[in-house]
Structure 1
Amino acid sequence: MKSRFSIAEGGMALVVLLLVGLPVAAQNSKSKDSYLSNIESCNGTDATPLDARIGACTAFIETRQGSTTALAIAHNNRGNVYTAKGDYDRAIRDFDQSIALNPTYAKAFNNRGVAYLRKGEYELAIQDLNDAIKLDPGYGAAFVNRAGAYLKKKDHQRAERDYDEAIRLQPDSQAAWSGRCWTRVVLGAWQAALEDCDRALQSGSTSAAVYDSRGLIHLKMGEFAAAIDDYNSALRAAPELASALFGRGLAKSKQGDASGGGADISAAKTIQRNIADEFAPYGLGDE
């Protein structure tokens, strides 16, 4: 089964941080307005489109009028946008610049770790996340992200410990509860996993992955109606989620709906041909 962990990226800097060192007196009104607009857009205010945020961060960086701290934040913010766009190499270059400007900036280490994680370079991700945690031992999001890297390496015990710490630090972290739920599914701790998924959903999560994970738990526990309800919720959010279609098909078949179950299983295999292999380790299959 594919891992269903969530990645928690560092938050955008406050505008006031980017205003440090702003030479207002040296600017005319028009240039000052443009400068302030770039700061706001680089911070992602007012739901600024991604490309506009990149342009604004670039314009701010190229003025070279900000303080070292402000420039580090701008590179970090632009790196976050590149990560969101899937341009991980550019993101990493921006995080490199941010760290060079401010070697104690934990968010930049965390966010570079996220970029490496999404790029599939798990050891580099773990190194950066280790550094983020050393700089800020209370950084819950970095523990969530390092757990995600451990999951990718199939080091489930370390992942669980990191999720434990993230939850201790940030008890309302949906990403931590969701990630630990999936980790405990993989470890076969079904009841504990169910409690974690419940907590993630009680915290307001609407993630298809959480419903998909809880659907699998109910399916394994023989609670087929509850499994179908969860898979329905997952599919409303992600209609082509193969694992939810396959799991719902199994649950329908177990309830005696061979036709409906077969249709879901066939649809799942159309999306992901080997989907049955992901259920086999849990003693679940369509044969």
Structure 2
Amino acid sequence: MEPRSSVVKSGVAIGVLLLVGLPVAAQNSNQNSKVNNSYLSHIEPCNGVGTISLDARIAACTAFIEARQGTTAALAIAYNNRGNAYTAKGDYDKAIRDFDQSIALKPTYAKAFNNRGVAHLRKGEYERAIEAFDDAIKLDPDYGAAFVNRAGAYLKKNDHQRAAHDYDEAVRLQPDSQAAWSGRCWTRALLGAWQAALEDCDRALQSGSTSAAVYDSRGLIHLKMGEFGAAIADYNSALRAAPELASALFGRGLAKLKQGDAIGGDSDISAAKTIQGNIGDEFAHYGVGHD
């Protein structure tokens, strides 16, 4: 069962910026119009506007960068955008190189530091990820997404107290952030603050979240609180969104067993173990093991 964070469960919330600052040549509509139109045509796809594929976005950013007609700030954003696309493709080394280049061009670009942290986090390089998120937060102390992402890194290191503090900050800065409420719900559950965790999951769902992770987290909370019917309902919701989510299958199986449904419970638990062999050990760690 993975830590519930925006990074781990639903992908990082890495916002797209419009490329800013037209080149001097583009400001003169009477000169080099064909060159300028070609240059400008790369901006929207590099920004990921519309339903453009990741490969097309990478190609557009590459063309924009190689044209070398943009301002330094525009090039920094283009490298950042291409890095985001590489991250989405799982090519983290290329992503990190692009974020490094973006930062070299614009050392005050907090988003590039945050996104570099995301790539390190997904590589399992948690200390490097935290350092990058630290830098992003130093540059922009109100950067709620960076607090959410750093919390995810702390969760990976089992540093639940620091994760909880970062989620507190994220909720304060961005009270409409589903990722912040969901992440704090899971963190509070890990800390045994069941009622507070339940309230956070409720808040995430009330704000419109349909994430399997939120229902899965709330299912575990209800299971720990002995509310087995509510746990089953939440696990059902999680499985509608993610039918092969092992933690939801295992948790639902435990709840069914607690209600006396041995056949249904054993079936769910067996299915969960087929998907993730060690899922029973994870639940035992949360104090709800299968006898």
TM-score, normalising length from structure 2? Answer: 0.95
1:163-202 correspondence runs (5 A)? 163-202=167-206
Q: Which residue is equivalent to 2:138?
A: 134
- Structure 1: runs of 5+ lacking an equivalent: none
Matched, 1:20 2:25: no
SS at match of 2:42: helix
Q: 2:222·2:230 contact (CA, 8 Å) conserved in 1?
A: yes
Does 2:41 correspond to 1:43?
no
Aligned residue for 2:3?
3
Does residue 62 in structure 1 map to residue 73 in structure 2? Answer: no
Alignment pair present for 1:246 and 2:250: yes
Q: Indicate if the aligned counterparts of 2:39 and 2:69 stay in contact, CA closer than 8 A.
A: no
Q: How many residue pairs align between the two structures?
A: 284
Corresponding residue number in structure 2 for 1:232:
236
CA–CA distance in structure 2, aligned partners of residues 13 and 282 of structure 1: 41
> Deviation digits for residues 4-34 of structure 1, max 9, x if unmatched?
211243311124x2x43252233234x4333
User: Would the aligned equivalents of 1:72 and 1:101 in 2 still touch at CA under 8 Å?
Assistant: yes
Distance 1:205 1:35 in 2: 39
What is the aligned-residue RMSD (CA, Å)? 1.2
Partner of 1:204: 208
Question: Structure 1 vs Structure 2: percent identity of aligned residues?
Answer: 77
The answer (yes or no) to whether the contact 1:9–1:111 under 8 Å persists in 2 is no
The one-letter amino acid of 1:21's match is: P
Q: In the aligned structure 2, how far is the partner of 1:108 from the partner of 1:27?
A: 32
Matched to 2:284, the amino acid is: A
The structural deviation recorded for 1:2 is: 2.8
SS of structure 2 residue aligned to 1:45: coil
Q: What stretches of structure 1 move > 3 A for 4+ residues in a row?
A: none
Question: Which residue in 2 is equivalent to 1:275?
Answer: 279
Consecutive unaligned residues of structure 2, counting only runs of 5 or more, are: none
Whose helix proportion is higher, 1 or 2?
A: 1
- Tell me the TM-score normalized by structure 1: 0.96
How far residue 254 of structure 1 moved from its aligned partner, in angstroms, is: 1.1
CA deviations over 1:29-68 (Å, ceiling 9, x no partner): 4x43332221000000012110000000000000000000
**2-structure distance, mates of 1:254, 1:216:** 13
